[in-house]
Amino acid sequence: MDNREEVREFLTSRRARITPEQAGLPAGSRRRVPGLRRSEVAALADMSVEYYAKLERGNLAGVSPAVLGAVARALQLDDAERAHLLHLAQAADGSDALTRPRRRTTSRQWTPHRSLQWTLDAITAGPATVCNGRMDILAANPLARAFYTDLFTNADNQHNLARFNFLDPASRRFYPDWDLFADMAVAILRREAGRDPHDKDLHDLIGELSTRSKDFRTRWGAHNVRRHGTGTKRFCHPAVGDLTLAYESLDLAAEPGLNMTIYTAEPGSPSEEGLRLLASLAATEDVSPAGQHHPTA
């Protein structure tokens, strides 16, 4: 796969964000480019300007891990960005298929094995989902289905968190910090594109979002990457109101490429009470996206 444009734009964007002061260099004068010059990155990475320029033109095929590490240090890449650079290099020389664990599925029609669904269903105090790198929700516990009621009740979302974020107006109510969620969604998809450059469904999703959402297009051009690991997020659920939830995301060893995310509330907090109320509603009623509760038959 020829990924030189992706490499070029990623390295250029990382170089542009670092000031000379951040790199421990004198700022000087008459700087015509934002961030560092190529010559400055080359000096920090202990390589010739010509060689670094070749890398920044997108030629990563055959580049050693030591060189990639030197570039990562010079550009002050974080762990997610370092991994992304490595994946881009592997894709450039065709080694990505050999170094990554084989993915058993990339389809939204994938069905979890029984014990995995049992595990999800055993988690009753918080929403729990299994997603792939495209942010498709492939499996969920009952509380997660009630939690993401707006997503699941709109067929246009196709159970995809990124599509919900950018194409469904309900997301702007559900995510009080919408811009933060939008940044995270794009960064996750960008990371997945580097890790699995041959995923046609991912390319189709990116194309759809780029065509239909200016907010997505702008963020996609920033070339930021992110690993979805742990943190705290705010939500506004249509049935139970404001929730502040911590989350942990875990890779599934038996299902390469998939991860389980579990949301929990601080014990004794209003958010914990909100999740309990939502669980009660989910057990007895249909929780509509408009906040109307309809008893089940």
Please say if the pLDDT value at position 231 is more than 50: yes
Residue 187 lies in a domain: yes
Q: Return the ∠ at Cα 44 (arms to 38 and 45), rounded to 5°.
A: 90
Query: What is the pTM for the complete model shown?
Result: 0.82
Q: Are residues 38 and 122 located together in one domain of the fold? A: no
Distance CA 281, CA 173 (A): 20
- Residue 79: domain span: 4-99
Please say if the pLDDT value at position 102 is more than 80: no
Kindly indicate the confidence band of residue 152, based on its pLDDT and cuts at 50, 70 and 90.
Answer: very high
The mean pLDDT of 9-17, rounded to a whole number, is 94
Q: Are residues 45 and 148 located together in one domain of the fold? A: no
Q: Are residues 127 and 65 located together in one domain of the fold? A: no
Q: Are residues 70 and 179 located together in one domain of the fold? A: no
Q: Are residues 262 and 181 located together in one domain of the fold? A: yes
Query: Considering its fold, how many domains does the chain have in total?
Result: 2
Please say if the pLDDT value at position 97 is more than 70: no
CA nearest neighbour of 8 among 44, 51, 55: 55
Tokens of 234: 């705010």
Count how many residues are written for the chain: 297
Residue 107 lies in a domain: no
Torsion over CA: 14, 17, 22, 25 (sign): positive
pLDDT at 2: 65
Q: Are residues 283 and 139 located together in one domain of the fold? A: yes
Other beta carbons within 10 Å of 111: 11
Find the distance separating the first CA and the last CA of the chain, reported in whole Å.
Answer: 53
Q: Are residues 83 and 167 located together in one domain of the fold? A: no
Please say if the pLDDT value at position 153 is more than 60: yes
Residue 48 lies in a domain: yes
Residue 270 lies in a domain: yes
Q: Please say which residue of 99, 128, 151 terminates a domain.
A: 99
pLDDT at 294: 41
The mean pLDDT of 227-231, rounded to a whole number, is 86
Q: What percent of the chain has pLDDT over 70?
A: 90
Residue 105 lies in a domain: no
Kindly indicate the confidence band of residue 229, based on its pLDDT and cuts at 50, 70 and 90.
Answer: confident
Residue 24 lies in a domain: yes
Please say if the pLDDT value at position 295 is more than 50: no
pLDDT at 296: 40
pLDDT at 197: 85
HSE-up of residue 144 (Cα within 13 Å, Cβ side):
23
Residue 19 lies in a domain: yes
Distance CA 137, CA 260 (A): 10
Q: Are residues 86 and 118 located together in one domain of the fold? A: no
Please say if the pLDDT value at position 169 is more than 70: yes
Q: Please say which residue of 71, 99, 127 terminates a domain.
A: 99
Give the best-scoring range by mean pLDDT among 1-15, 73-87, 162-176: 162-176
Q: Return the ∠ at Cα 118 (arms to 114 and 122), rounded to 5°.
A: 175
Residue carrying structure tokens 């933060």: 180
Residue 106 lies in a domain: no
Q: Are residues 214 and 240 located together in one domain of the fold? A: yes
Over the chain, what is the mean pLDDT? 89
Give me the CATH number covering residue 84: 1.10.260
pLDDT at 48: 96
pLDDT at 139: 96
Q: What is the pLDDT of residues 173-228, one digit of tens each?
A: 999 999 999 999 999 999 999 888 889 999 999 999 999 999 999 999 999 998 87
Give me the CATH number covering residue 128: 3.30.450.180
Q: What is the pLDDT of residues 242-294, one digit of tens each?
A: 999 999 999 999 898 899 999 999 999 999 999 999 999 988 865 554 344 44
Q: Are residues 77 and 183 located together in one domain of the fold? A: no
Kindly indicate the confidence band of residue 104, based on its pLDDT and cuts at 50, 70 and 90.
Answer: very low
